[in-house]
A = this chain, B = another copy of it.
């Protein structure tokens, strides 16, 4: 069922999207400000359940692309993603009936809402990662046969670039990353244009609603003086992301982070409060794996989320700092993200990690 997204939803939505963003997908505060400005100017946004999208209608996902470390310092005007959408429409010779997120995240759940507010287009309640991933070919859209090309990239000065690599989504990512680096490390994009029936077949459904649910659960638990992380676990039980596990509680002891090749890459270490255990999280924009005492406890595509221990506020990879007291949780992903073809595209080996994928609920049975 479609629903109207207003300013009142934004705080919960941004917080929840940042949890699902697993450390990436952009800063929720920036994302929230962008949507708020757009809604105040243009009114609320219609969020469309994927089941309601006409099979033949054209859906064009929109997003921001770039290293979170740069995104954090380079606030967009809010019009860039609309420019990208229009450039792709011009290339296709057809107008979009709706836009959609490509991933969950503090910014990338929000950019399509900014586009929706500014253009009047509805936003489909679904996305192509079911979390955040660092690269554009890591989309369930592509895993299940929708080409990312042609894609449009818009820069802050209104420049547009349209890339067409046919069915080669990795090559598209490679060229788009080069353009984004030249644009200063952040750009806005429109890609994976698809039909309504392709949305139904390839997208992870209802992740905007899920993000709102997650953010709201954390807020309500805080108000009720409950443990927000425990409450989050019980709320997730009723969703496609049914298993949550607490992997570690402790204090961040060291962070290595470098912005290279257009990504924020690095690792964070933590020690348990009793000093007896250690955690290591590796990331490329997003958290990829959590190792506790050198044992894998959760690995991509399952979600590794670093939350502050007291308020369960998600901590993105670019804001990890020495001394933060954190609870690290693992969350299971929907079946569509765990098939052999999905794992070939965004499983551990796709990131060069020497681990087999095992579901978080099995590792932590």
Report the minimal beta-carbon distance from A154 to chain B, rounded to whole angstroms. 10
Which residues of A152-211 are within 8 A (CB) of B? Answer: 155, 157-166, 168, 171, 174-175, 177-179, 181-183
Residue of A159, A165, A181 ringed by the most chain B CB atoms within 10 A = A159
Residues 302-341 (chain A) with a chain B CB within 8 angstroms: none
Q: How many Å from the CB of A167 to the closest CB on chain B?
A: 11
Chain B residues near A161 (CB, 8 Å)? Answer: 161-164, 175, 179
> Is A175 touching B166 in the complex (CB atoms < 8 A)?
no
- For residue A323, give the distance in angstroms from its CB to the closest CB of chain B: 38
Q: A174 — which chain B residues lie within 8 A by C-beta? A: 182
A168 to B159, CA, bound (A): 9
In angstroms, Cα B91 to Cα A244, docked, is 49
Chain B proximity of A171: nearest CB distance (Å): 6
Closest to A159 in B: B165
- Bound together, the chains give a CA A159 to CA B167 distance in angstroms of 10
Q: Contact check: which of B159, B165, B171 meets A171 at CB < 8 Å?
A: B159
| Contact present for A158 and B162 (CB under 8 Å) | no
Counting chain B CB atoms within 10 Å of each CB, the highest count among A91, A163, A168 belongs to A163
CA distance A124 to B223 in the complex (A): 75
A-B contact pairs, 30 of them (CB 8 A): A87-B164, A91-B91, A91-B162, A155-B175, A157-B165, A157-B168, A157-B171, A158-B166, A159-B163, A159-B164, A159-B165, A159-B166, A159-B168, A159-B171, A159-B175, A160-B163, A160-B164, A161-B161, A161-B162, A161-B163, A161-B164, A162-B162, A174-B182, A175-B179, A175-B183, A178-B178, A178-B179, A178-B181, A178-B182, A179-B179
Apart from the given pairs A87-B164, A157-B165, A178-B178, 11 other A-B contacts in the complex at a CB distance below 8 Å: A91-B162, A155-B175, A159-B163, A159-B165, A159-B166, A159-B171, A160-B164, A161-B179, A175-B183, A177-B182, A178-B182
A208 to chain B, nearest CB (A): 31
A175-B166 Cα distance, complex, nearest whole Å = 21
> A192 → chain B, closest Cβ, in Å?
17
Residues of B close to A168: CB separation below 8 A? 157, 159
Q: Which residues of B contact A155 (CB under 8 A)?
A: 175
